[in-house]
Structure 1
């Protein structure tokens, strides 16, 4: 009954089209169709874009993905290897990784190996997301090689793959998956001509015309509100701009100004959500090493002639609210940054990458991370995935042992915390961000969580207030592994930074303070020991003060 209830509260947010395609794709599988011979358009002579990934292999036999190294023996669908690892193998990102031009023979060998080892419509590589990423990688790689070195078998396979993708566009998932499908159709349609190439180009652009304005919010954020996926989608848009610069297609020219503006705005958002160490913050699904970071993206955008963020420090403490996506940013001249989450749980119909992290926050002081959210080390549907998405894995308040949003099943969310009464103010000496959420209203006590952050020179005060009734409430503070903790009094700690700076951590309104061994997950396949502080509230109000 509990699972049925979760399923009901998950499905009710979905779009009718998603439900229809869930049924449709179970009944109708892609078919191997007779296709006309591939025709090269000829306009895309050399791919002008950038690369950000490090090579996953240097010999074509051993690959490292997601922190796991495995030997590839020619079995593209090895059941002994995790499915997500195999997906990365099928993407063939190594064709366009850094330094790929020095490994041309190996890259050609891997394209041959893929064609030989993956008969049409069989295995992981023919699933639509894998097809989308590989099609783009092949078009880039083939354009760099030039038509004289591109084999006919490769072009035939590329045609079959694009046809298979067209038959299974991910309308049942939507969000970043459908965006990747659309991008792949556009790339295939600019490289391959003829009637089918024209159709793929039209269909891909029509999808982008609908998805770009829906998926990118007015403040520049990708609507799934994951800094990691935001980086990926921003790179996709930059790729499309680079594609226009390589082809000068009229169909792309009509859209390129809008794409440029969205990349520039998206870079501003990513700059705001990036810590002083140059890497992303961990809200929702986020980890290092998967998506391009701010430096990668600004380099790419700069090569395309786009405006990039200046990165200047403010002259005094300042606050700004990313209104549409729902994040607050407080900056200091000394390279301190506080990032706060007053955001809704992604797009209602696709919260697959959302965490139960409403009203959480992350903090850097003196350029070093201090308060960190969990991050992720894996996907899947097991206990660890659920733990990493939980409220207790984030810097916020857990009530009666429940998550603020009902995350479950690996990529599902049932009832969600909805933020309200969100705001920010800039004063001469102090700045503030505040918000409430109703995620615990579903519990018998009808609890509402209100949190306010107040910041000034050398000081942050975080005030939590709970209305309603409850059995227990615990605020969690997760510290970066490099932070040393020393107790001074019962409710006062001294934090020592790697550079020797001292931070006083003072608590009012807690009846207990526990220091718990925990883990931080900055990359897939990587878990690092850290400490989290658990504060059980003695009443309705908790005040946490940091002085530095």
Structure 2
């Protein structure tokens, strides 16, 4: 890419940003809050002990941890070991294991870990003092202190309290207003936790910042259909757990939180639970759209259980043949033993597409409770060719034109020109349910092509028809199967799948089965098959029909 092309890409990226994201970046880089080592304010009394959402343990030994499907040791108390991946180190600083399943049995390890962190991470230095790490750790330490598993030793407890207060003071002067989105949300949640946990003027100030900020972010980040505005099912689940945490916190410190705030959190949590149910496959896991993977956020069932423990009744799954999430831009088609989840929306907020993929008009399909067509997933965030590919159109079940991405994803979290969907239609009749949409992501190319797609789901088949309006040299529709399923001539075979067949319409289309990869979790890569269907240049139309025995 030459200099002028890079400059144009940069322009199409920054033109959508809010001013605070530009000047805030400079401020964040240059400004450091004053370190205040004053003793912690007294802790406020709380009702009962903390009971959180189910979470798998990540601490395997006194100094051994498993994050992102990789195991490493905390060597010589080096919390910023340059030999380890930065994202893995961030997870180390989060302290999620303090409130994971079976935490009581690891109470001694946890006490030593907190003590070691305080000794090895001087205020303001290292990964652990970055605001997002600060935010998640602040919340986890407070949950730990409320859980009854924290040390009874007065000196150790006071050391944790004093450090926690230093961290909250630092965070209050280091909010990630330049990043916005889920980062700023996490900052406000942490200050809200600190503001309720600590008494006195400082606690009141943190509570005020957290409450005002959270009210504003809920209004902006949670869409009318219940979805998180970054359109990632994974981050949606993370923020849903956050809201449930706030409900529990508010109840334990009532009446410090108003009924209006508690009711807001309850209402939005209920709508978020409904959204997540639509975006969850019959196997219980999220669909892979935008940045999404298993093992990072709680799945639907644990979140529903957590909600019930707080007195919320999760919405019942509707089971309707067509369920639309209009503000988020997703749709769920359900007919017979098949479930299809499709992306017919924008890639994310204009000013915050960092977790977006070029996946417009992609879809996933489950049959008899098992995923049979999947997007490639997400396994890494570091800058590189693999991250670019996973965000790119070729990693998704949609059409790629002239080897370009439908939205210009670049770097690790950047997007320049974005696909905009339009002409969305849907309906149902006695024979099945259908959905259609188009997008303009390829109109930036010389042929000004527009991709139009129509799905029709019936009792025993799925028909996916693609039409391209405009000129193109090459167009490929891809259909990826998960590991364990193999694509052969006219059929898909594997464990638990029988008589799943495919054919092209018209017959004789150029098809090819390619080797590819699937990434169900961070740090994971598995071989899989992809059916590639060439869209003819002369007609601009191609369809694939998947059939199964009903």
TM-score interval, normalised by the smaller of the two chains: over 0.9
CA deviations over 1:353-385 (Å, ceiling 9, x no partner): 110000000000111111000101111111100
- The aligned runs of 1:442-461 (5 Å cut-off) are 442-461=444-463
CA deviations over 1:438-461 (Å, ceiling 9, x no partner): 000111111111111112211211
Given candidates 520, 523, 526, the residue that maps to 1:522 is 520
Per-residue deviation, 1:72: 0.8
**Aligned residues of 1:320 and 1:424 also touching (Cα < 8 A):** no
Counterpart in 2 of 1:534? 532
Counterpart in 2 of 1:217? 223
SS in 2 for 1:465: strand
- The aligned runs of 1:142-221 (5 Å cut-off) are 142-145=145-148, 148-149=152-153, 151-221=157-227
- The aligned runs of 1:49-88 (5 Å cut-off) are 49-73=51-75, 74-88=77-91
1:387 aligns with 2:392: no
CA deviations over 1:470-496 (Å, ceiling 9, x no partner): 111111110121223231xxxxx1123
SS in 2 for 1:526: coil
**Aligned residues of 1:45 and 1:144 also touching (Cα < 8 A):** no
Given candidates 113, 116, 122, the residue that maps to 1:113 is 116
Q: Which piece of structure 1 moves more, 101-110 or 41-50? A: 41-50
CA deviations over 1:42-65 (Å, ceiling 9, x no partner): 222544332322111132211111
1:495 aligns with 2:492: yes
Q: Distance in 2 between matches of 1:498 and 1:322?
A: 32
Given candidates 502, 526, 542, the residue that maps to 1:505 is 502
Q: Distance in 1 between matches of 2:95 and 2:429?
A: 51
Per-residue deviation, 1:34: 5.4
Q: Distance in 1 between matches of 2:240 and 2:424?
A: 27
**Aligned residues of 1:44 and 1:190 also touching (Cα < 8 A):** no
Q: Distance in 2 between matches of 1:180 and 1:76?
A: 22
Q: Which piece of structure 1 moves more, 411-420 or 54-63? A: 54-63
Q: Distance in 2 between matches of 1:501 and 1:346?
A: 37
CA deviations over 1:247-305 (Å, ceiling 9, x no partner): 11343432111111111111111111111111111001110000000011001001011
Q: Distance in 1 between matches of 2:262 and 2:240?
A: 14
Q: Distance in 2 between matches of 1:27 and 1:297?
A: 39
1:32 aligns with 2:35: yes
Per-residue deviation, 1:203: 0.3
**Aligned residues of 2:487 and 2:513 also touching (Cα < 8 A):** no
Per-residue deviation, 1:12: 0.6
Residues 406 and 500 of structure 1: is their aligned pair in 2 closer, same or farther, counting only changes over 3 Å?
Answer: closer
1:123 aligns with 2:126: yes
Counterpart in 2 of 1:407? 409
1:95 aligns with 2:77: no
Residues 229 and 343 of structure 1: is their aligned pair in 2 closer, same or farther, counting only changes over 3 Å?
Answer: same
Q: Distance in 2 between matches of 1:300 and 1:397?
A: 39
**Aligned residues of 2:134 and 2:167 also touching (Cα < 8 A):** yes
Q: Distance in 2 between matches of 1:506 and 1:540?
A: 18
SS in 2 for 1:151: helix
Q: Which piece of structure 1 moves more, 362-371 or 24-33? A: 24-33
Q: Which piece of structure 1 moves more, 382-391 or 246-255? A: 246-255
Q: Distance in 2 between matches of 1:486 and 1:136?
A: 50
Q: Distance in 1 between matches of 2:89 and 2:372?
A: 35
Q: Which piece of structure 1 moves more, 43-52 or 221-230? A: 43-52
Given candidates 330, 340, 356, the residue that maps to 1:327 is 330
SS in 1 for 2:479: strand
SS in 2 for 1:186: helix
Q: Which piece of structure 1 moves more, 370-379 or 425-434? A: 425-434
Per-residue deviation, 1:497: 4.6
Residues 217 and 312 of structure 1: is their aligned pair in 2 closer, same or farther, counting only changes over 3 Å?
Answer: closer
Given candidates 278, 289, 300, the residue that maps to 2:306 is 300
Per-residue deviation, 1:184: 0.1
SS in 2 for 1:501: strand
**Aligned residues of 1:228 and 1:291 also touching (Cα < 8 A):** yes
**Aligned residues of 1:244 and 1:253 also touching (Cα < 8 A):** no
1:104 aligns with 2:107: yes
Q: Which piece of structure 1 moves more, 472-481 or 128-137? A: 472-481
1:367 aligns with 2:373: no
Counterpart in 1 of 2:546? 546
SS in 2 for 1:251: coil
SS in 1 for 2:520: strand
- The aligned runs of 1:4-15 (5 Å cut-off) are 4-15=7-18
**Aligned residues of 2:331 and 2:342 also touching (Cα < 8 A):** yes
Q: Distance in 2 between matches of 1:180 and 1:480?
A: 33
Q: Distance in 1 between matches of 2:97 and 2:15?
A: 40
Q: Distance in 2 between matches of 1:349 and 1:141?
A: 36
CA deviations over 1:306-337 (Å, ceiling 9, x no partner): 111334655xxx11211111111111243x20
- The aligned runs of 1:216-295 (5 Å cut-off) are 216-295=222-301
Q: Distance in 2 between matches of 1:242 and 1:547?
A: 47
Q: Distance in 2 between matches of 1:148 and 1:59?
A: 22
CA deviations over 1:178-234 (Å, ceiling 9, x no partner): 100000000000111111110000000000110001111111111111111110000
Counterpart in 2 of 1:490? none
Q: Distance in 2 between matches of 1:45 and 1:376?
A: 40
**Aligned residues of 1:67 and 1:525 also touching (Cα < 8 A):** yes
The alignment of Structure 1 onto Structure 2 pairs a total of residues equal to 538
